Chains A and B, each alone.
Chain A
Amino acid sequence: MDDKGCECKQRFADPDNQEPLLGILERYAGEKGALIPLLQDTQEAYGYLDEKIMRALAKGAGYQLSQVYGVATFYTQFRLEPIGEHLIRVCHGTACHVAGAELISEEISNFLGVKDGQTTPDMKFTLESVMCVGACSLSPIMIVDEDTHGKLKPANVRKVLKKYRGGNGEKEE
């Protein structure tokens, strides 16, 4: 979180590359009930939970695939599809709802042509909603990657997103 200045692109490992997974499995080897942290670290490494990876994880850590899949689908944090280069999370907690979060999401959907939970075909943006990030006084809030944009108005959404369009923060136009 403090590495905001870091310009390196956050690249995820390819699901065909099992090396990161092996490292993660080793980290939790022998630990009781570590399935959730295992999945969290795996998702951090790969960006999402690919079926191949879940199978390998189940085998490597000694779980039934159904157990792994059951946990991965129970918790909203886990994703079964790859995400785009930039992750947009719109807060839909109570304070943000009352402040018009639905209009923010709608404006983003109109602009990017994707719905909640979807990724743009060019893999630039994934749109998600979250339930309160704890900065309710600045509602409505949208978080792009690690940057929080508060007191948003639907009218400003495009301007903010355009900044991320060109990759590493470069402007597109």
Chain B
Amino acid sequence: MSTGGKNKLVLGYGTCGIAAGATAVKDALENELATGKYDAYLDIAGCMGFCFREPIVEVTDPDGRSVIYGDLSPKRVSRLLEAVAGGEVIEDWVVRRSDEPGAGEGDFLANQHRIVLRNCGNINPESIEEYISTGGYEAARKALTSMTPEELIDEVGKSGIRGRGGAGFPTGTKWGFARKAKGEQKYLVCNADEGDPGAFMDRSVLEGDPHAVIEGMIVAGYAIGATQAYIYCRAEYPLALKRLDIAIAACHEWGYLGQGIFGTDWDFDIKIKKGAGAFVCGEETALIASIEGKRGMPRPRPPFPANEGLWGKPTNINNVETLAAIPWIIANGGDRYASVGTEKSKGTKVFCLAGKVRRSGLAEVPMGYTLRQVIFDVGGGVREGKEFKAVQMGGPSGGCLPASLLDTLVDYDAITATGAIMGSGGMIVADSSTCMVDLARYFLSFTQEESCGKCVPCRIGTKRMLEILARICSGEGEPEDLERLDILAGDIKAGSLCALGGTAPNPVLTTLKYFRNEYEDHILRKKCTAGVCPALITLHIQEDICTGCGACAKICPVEAISGEKKEPHAIDADTCIRCKLCLSRCPEEAIYAE
């Protein structure tokens, strides 16, 4: 990319970067650059995906060579600018160098295949000009000026793309239904509710490349015959909402939204609807009810939204990631997209790597990679050299897979066969310090809380399952509980209207299947080997490490810790309430739970 003969600095300015302190870095950079001492300028971009090294700056010199630096802070800014001015590279801070792909964390990107994230981190998401300079809106122009809706639907069908919101329904087929549905007024909805608690793909795309989603919506709207569209975005994403607002306003100025767009006689507009915090509203019929201003409760299908959706009119709902891939598919052809991936899962999938993985961040990989490639080659394996225990995929609807299944392919059918689901792309890596029973309990407490209450098996069944799991975690589980969980799981799956209830037992079923020994440890041996469940652990101080600083004794709410100054301290197990507050307080990490 041309930098106009100057050094270009691009700061990662997404939610994750800002949370890590990017605003202070931005202020410091702006102040230094304002002195005029440096031949450089600053721009912002969305997520580059290197969350584990935020705040991040990419420096591109006039020859187009780029270096990405991580872990910046205001203090490091002058050192950075001096190096930039002197044409020097600060090796210790390097995350990636374009001229030395193996340096730093270069293989994080090298092992990815970016289609949806093609612009994320590369362009300023608040500038429509930058999006256009990458070929943006050419796909929409091509679609509207030289293709028929049927041709578009064919092309998307050829690409083989399946909905990225979780269910994996073929997008071309879905568009075909909405196209054929009878009705003067049709609607398009972009599902940006991203309810999986522990996933942020859609947020990153909306923050990093909002125009890609809008362009995808323009194409989709034209293909199905919808002139009005909505983006239903969760309120927890203020920056995504702000950048969408900016992008939509720019589109109106450029004639890409509004009346007679791209010089044709086609009208198309987008309204933003802010969610109000309900996981079930990610389900399409609940989402529709929510846009209509009602309580977000699912209703039986059929009628499917394609025939009777928003305000009773034909409605097509797609996920953010699905829509963001559409411009690429139209520009490059469905066949090219379909050349990536496996027989039944085409293209790429964006995953959010989080939990105990070393490189936690945003990664887009071709379908057909193994989970091992995603977690180890891209993600760099488990943090602090610990052993991999499990990966949780698909959030509350998904499951936990053990090390023996790491060679499973990223493929809808292959993952479903394990009992987990592809889901929307959350991947939480667990190591020996994660208790699988506690994790199952966590998800059940989530689904139980989020059940809309319409179906008895979902509302009460999840509550009963949660009670049993809580009992097991508190050391009061009975051997028969495992069978009870199994029976309840079957009933809930069979008797729930929507997939919230239908998939709620998955985290329990997969942990029962692959980590049964941990349940048995809790129930029979009254042990939580991960050291998580308070009732089943004891806390100890390692005498040889303890320096006797007294910090733990000070924080202990029940005065269970005693010892002379500068002498090893000890915890009285009978008094200790296992709140673990002392654990993180100890500067020597002398306290452990077992």
Contact = CB atoms under 8 A, between A and B. Distances in A.
Interface stretch (A13-21, A94-102, A117-125, A161-169): A94-102
B377 to A, nearest CB: 18
Contacts of A78: 276
Contacts of A10: none
Given A76-B277, A134-B15, A32 B311 contact: yes
B97 interface: no
B557 A110 contact: yes
A75 B434 CA distance: 31
Given A71-B295, A154-B585, A148 B19 contact: yes
Interface in B283-316: 290-296, 311
B395 interface: yes
Interface stretch (A51-59, A80-88, A135-143): A135-143
A76 B446 CA distance: 13
A80 B494 CA distance: 36
B276 A33 contact: no
Contacts of A135: 15-16, 19, 51, 200
B392 interface: yes
B216 to A, nearest CB: 20
Task: List 8 tightest A-B contacts by C-beta distance, closest first.
Answer: A94-B198, A137-B51, A93-B197, A75-B276, A33-B293, A35-B293, A134-B200, A148-B19
B16 A137 contact: yes
A10 to B, nearest CB: 15
Contacts of B203: 134
7 contacts: A74-B278, A103-B579, A103-B583, A132-B197, A135-B16, A137-B16, A137-B51
A30 interface: no
A96 B428 CA distance: 10
Given A70-B295, A155-B555, A98 B434 contact: yes
A37 to B, nearest CB: 7
A138 B51 contact: yes
A95 B236 contact: no
A167 B439 CA distance: 38
A153 interface: yes
Interface of A: 1, 4, 32-37, 39-40, 70-71, 74-78, 92-100, 103, 106-107, 110, 130-139, 141, 148, 150, 153-155
A95 B16 CA distance: 14
Contacts of A103: 579-581, 583-584
Contact of B581 (A94, A107, A133, A137): A107
Contacts of A155: 555, 581, 584-585
A154 to B, nearest CB: 5
Contact of A37 (B16, B18, B274, B585): B274
Contacts of B23: 4
A16 to B, nearest CB: 25
B69 interface: no
A132 to B, nearest CB: 4
B242 A1 contact: yes
B81 to A, nearest CB: 23
B16 A130 contact: no
A153 B584 contact: yes
Given A1-B242, A130-B236, A136 B294 contact: no
Nearest to A4: B23
Interface of B: 15-16, 18-20, 23, 51-52, 54, 194-200, 203-204, 235-239, 242, 273-279, 290-296, 311, 352, 354-356, 360-361, 392, 395, 426, 428, 430, 434, 439, 442-443, 446, 452, 555, 557, 579-581, 583-585
Contact of A94 (B16, B236, B442): B442
Nearest to A149: B19
Contact of A134 (B237, B291, B428): B237
A96 B355 CA distance: 8
Contacts of B430: 98
Given A33-B311, A132-B200, A137-B360, 15 more contacts: A36-B290, A37-B273, A40-B235, A94-B395, A94-B426, A103-B581, A133-B15, A133-B236, A136-B198, A136-B360, A137-B354, A138-B16, A138-B51, A148-B15, A154-B585
B276 A77 contact: yes
Contact of B238 (A1, A136, A137): A1
A148 B18 contact: yes
Contacts of A37: 273-274
A134 B16 contact: yes
A71 B286 CA distance: 13
B446 A131 contact: yes
B555 A71 contact: no
A116 B108 CA distance: 39
B362 to A, nearest CB: 9
Contacts of B51: 135-138
Contacts of A137: 16, 51-52, 54, 354, 360-361
Given A103-B584, A138-B20, A153-B584, A97 B292 contact: no
Nearest to B434: A98
A46 B26 CA distance: 33
B291 A33 contact: yes
A141 B277 contact: no
A134 B236 contact: yes
B274 A139 contact: no
Contacts of B52: 137
Contacts of A132: 196-200, 236
Contact of B579 (A96, A106, A136, A150): A106
